[in-house]
Structure 1
């Protein structure tokens, strides 16, 4: 019998205070067009490559739900260009490039995110 829980991540939820602002900010960050609609007035699914979806959700936002440590990372092929891009965009960097392959930054709600060269 196969196991009922699959070895795959379907979605990662990020609590955001303003769904429209978060949709625009993350779309700009990832250089993806704003596509689709805001569902139920509080959910936006970012168009991502691969099988994992990033879901922005303003209904689950509470200052206590803001992530102080990253739960996942965005991939990059060029960590230095990625770091420079976020710096130029004025995005709050939490760390410098660590061990030559990752760094952390904050979204407008204070969620800490990571970019990593794998």
Structure 2
């Protein structure tokens, strides 16, 4: 723990439990700052930004296919804001001239989306997207999670996951 200028910082620590020389649990304890008696932490992602070439068409796609709540369009149709659920986690569309990649290469044959959405029923949501005509991959079992990817009309890839 360090202290300077009315700021106390608790450094990150990790709890690692070993059982017969096997690593069983790795639990990060996040850094927490206390400034003027108030705890300051990041608590969630406020928004993600998705590049699209046609904002008007993308607005309708995200409303119809994903059921997102459209809350506003930016001046000059340069972007649009949506939110999920009562927590109002935002997804913003941003108009771009050319396609931008929102996935990264793991190797020459496999790509991973930067963004994963969560759902309560992966099979039902997978079927919902298929019925809406959205391009989806097969559902895969990755141990603690099940997942699939889907693509928007600009070819942006997103993942959908559910914890088992």
Class of the TM-score when normalised by the shorter of the 2 chains: 0.7 to 0.9
Larger Rg: 2
**Alignment partner of 1:48 is 2:72:** no
| Higher mean displacement: 98-107 or 13-22 | 98-107
Please identify which structure carries the higher helix content: 1
Structure 1 length normalisation: TM-score? 0.81
Aligned with residue 84 of structure 1, among 102, 122, 127:
127
- Tell me, yes or no, if the aligned pair for 2:72 and 2:82 is still in contact at 8 Å: no
Structure 1 unaligned blocks of 5 or more:
none
Please identify which structure carries the higher strand content: 2
Q: Displacement, 1:61?
A: 4.8
Would you identify which runs of 4 or more consecutive aligned residues in structure 1 move more than 4 Å?
Answer: 3-6
Structure 2 unaligned blocks of 5 or more:
1-6, 8-32, 104-111
Aligned residues: 114
Aligned with residue 117 of structure 2, among 74, 98, 116:
74
Structure 2 length normalisation: TM-score? 0.61
Inter-CA distance 80–16: structure 2 relative to 1 (3 Å threshold): same
